[in-house]
Amino acid sequence: MSGAAQVALLPGDGIGPEVIASAVEVCEALCPGEYEFEPQIFGGASIDANGVAMTDETLAACRAADAVLLGAVGGPKWDSTDPSAPRPEQGLLGLRKGLGLYANLRPVKAIEALVDASPLREERISGTDLLVVRELTGGIYFGEKKRTDTMASDLCEYSVLEVERIARVAFSAARSKVSSIDKANVLETSRLWREVVTRVHAEEFPDVELEHVLVDNAAMQLVSTPTQFDVILAENLFGDILSDEAAMITGSIGMLPSASIGNPDGPGLFEPVHGSAPDIAGQGLANPLATILSLAMMMRHGFGREQQASAVESAVAAALACGLRTADLGGDASTEQATAAVLAELA
Ligand code: IPM
Ligand code: MG
């Protein structure tokens, strides 16, 4: 790559612009001039400006970039049950699909300094270090939708190829074990999922341990003994739900970063797992750490710059160890103070 890396910046809605500004500040302090950020209107903001959550131009700009860094989308202003009304989330789903990003990585670590911020007991969560590998471009999110006055349906479909490729991501990321999540006692897609994961395991990754866990049981195991998990492999909807649940191990959903990858010929997408938090938007209260940690994932997975990524992650951990707590973690630090605390550790 010659010159500065080009990053498409999608602040989005609610607290999105606030947490994105914070991540950009951290990036420019750590490696000035190495990344160039080009902002794009996205989500609800784009519905207001253009009538759609993502224009073709925005998608094209993201495709042409080396990476995409996103804040959050959505808000009460655009919430509607009218199937024909544009929704901010359509932008996000269209972007993931449009960039071919089928693999969503959501690492969940119990940070020692934060064990008291979690609603779960310390002895249960201490030592948790797991990765949710969520299939991101298939399943019920993208199946045909129908709506009449008296019924509605969402189709859940998976092909063998879609399951094979996400299974490979999970097995490659595993240090010891993959827990593959399904509902094979009820769903046909889950039976296919289980069959394909079992075959990919036997043929390509026999040294990694594999277990199959029904999703309802997994939800329970995740709060009772989260330390048993290494990699949690899940289809789109199950992965969405389990990753929010797993966030509480870290104390707040404001802590969880994510990377969406899978297309070797295009950019990855890096975004916090949390939403746009309209209730605290514009007040400077948002926790920027999930977005700062997503920046670190961008440096690692998007550019192979492991040292930069570790520097950002260590600065976040050190700031927390020094007592940094935003409101979601039971403290009163503002977004600006949280950013300053991370910058101080970087310096
Ligand atoms: C997430 C979010 C999105 C999803 C929403 C905003 C569409 O919850 O990234 O987890 O369901 O994928
Ligand atoms: Mg979610």
What is residue 113's predicted lDDT score, i.e. its pLDDT?
Answer: 87
Does any ligand 1 atom lie closer than 6 A to the CB of residue 135? no
Q: Is there a single domain that holds both residue 300 and residue 246?
A: no
Task: Answer whether residue 146 is part of any domain.
Answer: yes
Of the bound ligands, which one is closest to the alpha carbon of residue 104?
A: 1
What is residue 333's predicted lDDT score, i.e. its pLDDT?
Answer: 98
The residue whose C-alpha atom lies closest to atom 10 belonging to ligand 1 is 240
Task: Answer whether residue 110 is part of any domain.
Answer: no
Each of the 347 residues of the chain gets a pLDDT tens digit; together they read 568 999 999 999 999 999 999 999 999 999 999 999 999 999 999 999 999 999 999 999 999 999 999 999 999 999 999 989 999 999 999 999 999 999 999 999 998 889 888 999 999 999 999 999 999 999 999 999 999 999 999 999 999 999 999 999 999 999 999 999 999 999 999 999 999 999 999 999 999 999 999 999 999 999 999 999 999 999 999 999 999 999 999 989 999 999 999 999 999 999 999 999 999 999 999 999 999 999 999 999 999 999 999 999 999 999 999 999 999 999 999 999 999 999 999 99
Q: How many domains does the chain have?
A: 2
Give the pTM. 0.96
Does any ligand 1 atom lie closer than 6 A to the CB of residue 89? yes
Of the bound ligands, which one is closest to the alpha carbon of residue 139?
A: 1
What is residue 133's predicted lDDT score, i.e. its pLDDT?
Answer: 98
Q: DSSP 3-state assignment of 5?
A: strand
The residue whose C-alpha atom lies closest to atom 5 belonging to ligand 1 is 89
Given the residues 66, 182, 240, 328, the one annotated as active site: 240
Task: Answer whether residue 109 is part of any domain.
Answer: no
DSSP letters spanning 130-196: EEEEEE-SSGGGTS-EEE-SS-EEE-----HHHHHHHHHHHHHH-SSEEEEEE-TTT-HHHHHHHHH
Does any ligand 1 atom lie closer than 6 A to the CB of residue 53? no
Given the residues 35, 102, 141, 158, the one annotated as active site: 141
Q: Is there a single domain that holds both residue 163 and residue 227?
A: yes
What is residue 112's predicted lDDT score, i.e. its pLDDT?
Answer: 86
What is residue 2's predicted lDDT score, i.e. its pLDDT?
Answer: 61
Domain span at 7: 1-101+265-347
Does any ligand 1 atom lie closer than 6 A to the CB of residue 240? yes
**Active-site annotation holds for 240:** yes
Q: Is there a single domain that holds both residue 18 and residue 72?
A: yes
**Active-site annotation holds for 141:** yes
DSSP letters spanning 218-273: HHHHHHH-GGG-SEEEE-HHHHHHHHHHHHTTTT-GGG-EEEEE--TTS-EEEEES
